Amino acid sequence: MHPAPRALRRAAAAVALLATAVSCAPQPEASSDKPSASAGNICARGKLATETPGRLTVATDEPAYEPWFQDDDPANGKGFESAVAYAVAEELGYGKEKVVWQTVPFNKAFAPGEKTFDFDINQVSISEERKKAVDFSSGYYDVRQAVVALKGSRAAKAKSIADLKGVKLGAQVGTTSLDYIDDVVRPTRKAAVYAKNDQAKSALKNGQVDAIVVDLPTAFYITGAEITDAVIVGQFENQGGTPEQFGLVLDKGSALTSCVSRAVDALRDDGTLQKIEQQWLSDAVDAPVLK
């Protein structure tokens, strides 16, 4: 038996009324301390959803080593990474006066957990393992790892990776430098691990290790300005056929990742990154390749 037409009309009217009530009901607002850009303009210059509205918070470690920074002062714009950070900030619409620096230890920058910075710049190599905990921008510098030893030492005479297997090597904890010791050299003696590069350099000077592994520009600075009786033994080839790259570190799932990558890409395309590299890393000439 079918319902009467009048009953059908009443039922339809009730459903329509209910739908209208639901659509008009106030909806809870998403709570966030950060400003939100419109969906169509998430990378609006100077209006990103940053940690502090109207400011860009950039992090790095302390001390801030040369040639990446100068005078242990990231905010002065001197040194390769300080210059890159300000160039990225400008591309995003934040002048120098809108950039706030924050100290974050190297290992904490890419450890799991919410970040208090917008991006970190600290010679952090992009890797699939680190991507599990943080986001990375496009690479802003292609880098190789190098071996530094005291002149006249056994390690200084090494011509190949095999020649390094029996020497005592050291590197900073959590770095690609240490990975190269463990995965590429595979020495017969366990590598010495240090919390800071300064400690690794002191160990080299004091004879506690035969050689240390650092990135190539740092190796040139160490041998040219800090430990003048040390030499660059050589550099390692890139592993897996792709260059090792430093990337800016962002919070996992950060809304800024695509904007920051776009800024880095633009600086590479217009030649800015190359100019900054020539200005601050021009002394890092080639070193022998260890095979």
| pLDDT for position 27 | 41
209-268 pLDDT per residue, tens? 999 999 999 999 999 999 999 999 999 998 777 899 999 999 999 999 999 999 999 999
Q: How far is residue 218 CA from its own chain's centroid?
A: 16
What one-character DSSP code corresponds to residue 98?
G
Of the candidates 202, 184, 183, the one whose C-alpha atom is nearest the C-alpha of residue 194 is 202
DSSP output for 237-279: PPGGGS-EEEEEEEETT-TTHHHHHHHHHHHHHTTHHHHHHHH
Q: Across the chain, where does the E strand assignment appear?
A: 56-60, 99-103, 119-120, 134-143, 145-150, 169-172, 192-194, 211-215, 230-236, 244-251, 289-290
Of the candidates 216, 168, 215, the one whose C-alpha atom is nearest the C-alpha of residue 193 is 168
- Mean pLDDT value of segment 22-38: 41
32-36, 150-154, 182-186, 197-201: least confident range: 32-36
Which burial class, exposed, middle or buried, applies to 30 when counting CB atoms under 10 A from its CB (0-12, 13-18, 19+)? exposed
Residues 115 and 251: beta-carbon distance below 8 Å:
yes
Of the candidates 119, 123, 127, the one whose C-alpha atom is nearest the C-alpha of residue 141 is 123
Q: How far is residue 171 CA from its own chain's centroid?
A: 18
SS3 25: coil
Number of helical H runs and strand E runs in the chain: 8, 11
Q: Is the dihedral of CA 90, 95, 97, 98 positive or negative?
A: negative
| pLDDT for position 238 | 85
- Residues in Cβ contact with 135 at an 8 Å cutoff, skipping those fewer than 6 apart: 249, 250, 251, 252, 253, 254, 257
Percent of the chain with pLDDT over 70: 85
88-134 pLDDT per residue, tens? 999 999 999 999 999 999 999 999 999 999 999 999 999 999 999 99
Q: What is the mean pLDDT of the chain?
A: 88
7-16, 49-58, 97-106: least confident range: 7-16
Which domains does the chain carry?
49-142+244-285 (3.40.190.10), 145-237 (3.40.190.10)
The residue whose two tokens read 């990135």 is 215
Of the candidates 139, 169, 78, the one whose C-alpha atom is nearest the C-alpha of residue 265 is 139
